[in-house]
Amino acid sequence: MSFIEQLNQSWSQSGSLLCVGLDPDVSRLPSALRGDKSQGIFEFTKAIVDATHDLVCAFKPQIAYFSAESAEKQLVEVIAYIKSNYPDVPVILDAKRGDIGSTAEKYAVEAFERYQADAVTVNPYLGFDSVAPFTAYKDKGVILLCRTSNPGAASFQDLEIDGVPLYKKVALAASNEWNDNGNCSLVVGATWPEQMAEVRALVGDMPFLVPGVGTQGGDVEAMVKAGQTAAGSGLMISSSRAVLYASEGDDFAEAARAEALQLRNQINAHRSGL
């Protein structure tokens, strides 16, 4: 099954557009899990997965939180754990890789073969030949940074080329000439509902990975209305810190579940066609 098929099935089965981002920050783990950092990262992330798996359409581990702590082995184990226990939940590796073709091939091996991710985020700045080694994996998803959720998104992504902002140029490339295998998606930040609506109008039903709700302050109603497809779907709305650190005490998993449930319901309240 391809990533897009898997995602459609997951949206349908879970009734959720929520994607929980797995960003295990060792400085914020409950004290009981801080003894062995690498093991703590695994145990924390596993507990979050167990507590939220039925509330999400996808999980999104952020590789930087693992790499900063030399915890690649734990990232492999987290993804394997999800696949063993919750095989219907697709896993997006948030890595934002991008390099020339021969090197991008190695990054594709890292994401899809080593970590067994179903999809990976990719930075488009290096152009077509930096993306092709990822899209060549036909059953995997390639989620290109389009309009990111951070304030710095405006530095370059908003610059206009003959009246068309760069992020729309990326959206057009991802939905046309780069999408021969039909496996491209886009990152469009929740913090910019106007831009999201414009991108949705350009690319049809292409899935969006939407970071920026929660800690980054994106407005859920505005974002769902701007980004959803006609069928009330098409979004993987990612929350990381607001869910993971809803409590930093021993009740972190229950608190994460409560936050995820609240956010799933808040999202669903604004979906059309439900």
Contact footprint for a second copy (CB under 8 A): 23, 25, 62, 64-65, 67-68, 70, 72, 96-104, 106-107, 109-110, 113-114, 123-131, 145, 148-157, 159-161, 166, 169-170, 173, 211, 216, 241
87 versus 194: smaller Cβ distance to a second copy: 194
136 versus 261: smaller Cβ distance to a second copy: 136
Q: What does the block give as tokens for 213?
A: 């709700």
Query: Cα separation of 14 and 225, whole Å?
Result: 20
Tell me the torsion sign for CA atoms 185, 191, 192, 193.
Answer: positive
Pairing of strands 141-147, 119-122: parallel
The separation between the first and the last C-alpha atoms of the chain, rounded to the nearest angstrom, is 26
**Active-site residue flag, 96:** yes
Tell me the torsion sign for CA atoms 13, 19, 23, 29.
Answer: negative
Give the nearest distance from C-beta 72 to a second copy in angstroms: 6
On the 0-12 / 13-18 / 19+ scale of CB atoms within 10 A, 151 is: exposed
159 versus 230: smaller Cβ distance to a second copy: 159
Query: Cα separation of 249 and 29, whole Å?
Result: 8
Q: Which of 37, 83, 96, 169 is catalytic?
A: 96
147 versus 264: smaller Cβ distance to a second copy: 147
55 versus 122: smaller Cβ distance to a second copy: 122
Query: Cα separation of 79 and 61, whole Å?
Result: 8
Query: Cα separation of 274 and 272, whole Å?
Result: 6
- The torsion angles phi and psi of 127, rounded to 5 degrees, stand at 85, -170
